[in-house]
């Protein structure tokens, strides 16, 4: 049996030899990363500086945007380094760190979206009791649960992976992926697979239950409510639903193309499917929430920072 210590690094084989074209790709990825950081930071600063936005809805949105910056930090600097590299290798420690970062990002994203759906349910279905049922302490507790639950859950995954004995170090991906690392193991992986299934199920089911509950209640209120109630529901739920669907489809694409044989799929499409849920969501949310929500769009701080950003560009 080959000991994993003989593999101090992993080799990523999904990168193509692009010659000088790699510098063009580097610039594109760099511009995307700058756009993500600026757009998300812009909304976070706007929410923090404008006192009228210090409401549960925007506090939850702020948590969502912070997570976009966190997930992007786990991917983009790594991509920029790999694009300009000729070897496409990554150390074991950095690989496991990236896996932990990206997996916790996915879990926090789903949990944030679940908490935001609960907020929309209270605002539409229980408007008179909204502030009483969603106090500042409860908001802080929900946000703390969202982050701690995700970080602790995948800390167990990380510990299980570190104990594996690996008989290979080739990962056919652009970034480190837990599923591919476990496949390289020549030691017993039953515990990893069982906990991986439980963890993946919890990642989906824990947020899915409050999301389905919230929107079933909202839909029922809309069906029997007034026209004003339906308009309020549409205006406040549209950004959240769009964000939820965008992220869900991205995760589904990534899961399908990583679990099943995709040799017949063009390489560029495979790259797009594997990166969409990590790139599309951080770009999509600031646009959807920043320009869809009038409270943020009309904020003087937001307008001032937008004009400064355009002048710099």
Three-state SS sequence of 221-275: HHHHCCHHHHHHHHHHHHHHHHHHHHHHHHHHHHHHHHHCCCCCCCHHHHHHHHH
What is the tens place of the pLDDT at every residue in 234-255?
Answer: 888 888 899 999 999 888 888 8
Cα angle: 86, vertex 165, 179; to 5 degrees = 65
Residue 294: pLDDT above 90?
no
Long-range contacts of 209-213 (CB under 8 A, 24+ apart): 209/114, 210/114, 210/115, 210/117, 210/118, 211/113, 211/114, 211/117, 211/244, 213/121
pLDDT computed for residue 164 by the predictor: 85
The total of other beta-carbon atoms located within 10 Å of residue 62's CB is 21
Bridge partner residues of 166 (DSSP): 185
> What is the C-alpha radius of gyration for the chain, rounded to an integer number of angstroms?
21
Residue 311: pLDDT above 80?
no
For residue 92, what are its two tokens? 């074991």
Helix (H) or strand (E) holding 171: strand 170-171
For residue 44, what are its two tokens? 């976070």
Helix (H) or strand (E) holding 89: strand 89-91
* C-alpha dihedral sign at 133, 129, 285, 254: positive
Bridge partner residues of 185 (DSSP): 166
Residue 146: pLDDT above 60?
yes
Residue 303, domain extent: 4-312
Average pLDDT over residues 217-232: 83
- Of 53-57, 202-206, 249-253, 290-294, which gets the smallest average pLDDT? 290-294
- Of 20-24, 131-135, 137-141, which gets the smallest average pLDDT? 20-24
Residues 6+ apart with CB under 8 A from 180: 171, 172, 173, 258
Average pLDDT over residues 129-155: 93
pLDDT computed for residue 263 by the predictor: 62
Residue 188: pLDDT above 70?
yes
Residue 84: pLDDT above 50?
yes
Residue 278: pLDDT above 70?
yes
pLDDT computed for residue 258 by the predictor: 73
What is the tens place of the pLDDT at every residue in 152-178?
Answer: 999 999 999 888 888 888 988 889 988
Residue 101: pLDDT above 80?
yes
What is the tens place of the pLDDT at every residue in 6-16?
Answer: 678 899 988 87
pLDDT computed for residue 189 by the predictor: 87
Q: Which residue has the higher pLDDT, 40 or 303?
A: 40
Residue 313: pLDDT above 70?
no
CATH number at residue 109: 1.20.1070.10
pLDDT computed for residue 73 by the predictor: 94
Residue 308: pLDDT above 60?
no
From 234, 280, 251, 270, select the one nearest 120 (Cα to Cα): 234
For residue 209, what are its two tokens? 């239950």
Share the mean pLDDT of the chain: 85
Cα angle: 297, vertex 300, 301; to 5 degrees = 95
CA distance 289 to 284: 9
Q: Which residue has the higher pLDDT, 138 or 261?
A: 138
Query: For 24, which DSSP code?
Result: H
**Burial (0-12, 13-18, 19+ Cβ within 10 Å), 165:** middle
Bridge partner residues of 9 (DSSP): 91
> What is residue 68's three-state secondary structure?
helix
* C-alpha dihedral sign at 17, 20, 26, 31: negative
CA distance 212 to 118: 10
Residue 4: pLDDT above 50?
no
Contact of 286 with 39, CB cutoff 8 Å: yes
Residue 303: pLDDT above 60?
no
Residue 274: pLDDT above 70?
yes
pLDDT computed for residue 295 by the predictor: 62
> What is residue 11's three-state secondary structure?
strand
Q: What percent of the chain has pLDDT over 90?
A: 37
Residue with tokens 């932990």: 100
Average pLDDT over residues 17-38: 88
CA 212 to mean position of chain CA atoms: 20
Residue 107: pLDDT above 90?
yes
Residue 229: pLDDT above 90?
no
Q: What is the tally of structural domains in the chain?
A: 1
């Amino acid at each position: 049996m080959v000991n994993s210590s003989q593999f101090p690094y992993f080799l990523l084989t999904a990168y193509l030899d692009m010659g000088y074209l790699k510098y063009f790709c580097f610039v594109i990825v760099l511009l995307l990363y700058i756009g993500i950081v600026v757009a998300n930071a812009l909304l976070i600063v706007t929410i923090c500086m404008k006192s009228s936005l210090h409401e549960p809805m925007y506090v939850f949105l702020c948590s969502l945007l912070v997570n976009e910056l966190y997930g992007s930090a786990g991917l983009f600097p790594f991509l920029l380094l790999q694009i300009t590299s000729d070897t496409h290798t990554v150390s074991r420690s950095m690989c496991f760190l990236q896996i932990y970062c990206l997996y916790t990002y996915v879990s926090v994203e789903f949990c944030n979206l679940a908490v935001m759906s609960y907020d929309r349910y209270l605002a539409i279905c229980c408007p008179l009791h909204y502030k009483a049922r969603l106090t500042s302490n409860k908001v802080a507790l929900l946000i703390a649960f969202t982050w701690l639950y995700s970080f602790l859950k995948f800390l167990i995954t990380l510990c299980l992976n570190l104990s594996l004995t690996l008989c290979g170090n080739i990962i056919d991906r652009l970034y480190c992926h837990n599923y591919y690392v476990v496949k390289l193991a020549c030691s017993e992986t039953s515990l990893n697979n069982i906990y991986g299934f439980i963890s993946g199920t919890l990642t989906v089911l824990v947020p899915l239950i409050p999301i389905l509950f919230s929107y079933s209640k909202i839909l029922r209120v809309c069906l029997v409510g007034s026209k004003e109630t339906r308009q309020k529901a549409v205006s406040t739920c549209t950004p959240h639903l769009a964000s939820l669907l965008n992220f869900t489809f991205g995760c589904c694409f990534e899961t399908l193309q990583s679990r099943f044989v995709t040799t017949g799929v063009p390489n560029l499409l495979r790259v797009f499917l594997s990166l969409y849920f990590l790139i599309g969501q951080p770009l999509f949310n600031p646009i959807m929430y920043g320009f869809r929500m009038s409270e943020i769009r009309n904020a003087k701080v937001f307008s001032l920072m937008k004009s400064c950003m355009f002048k710099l560009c």
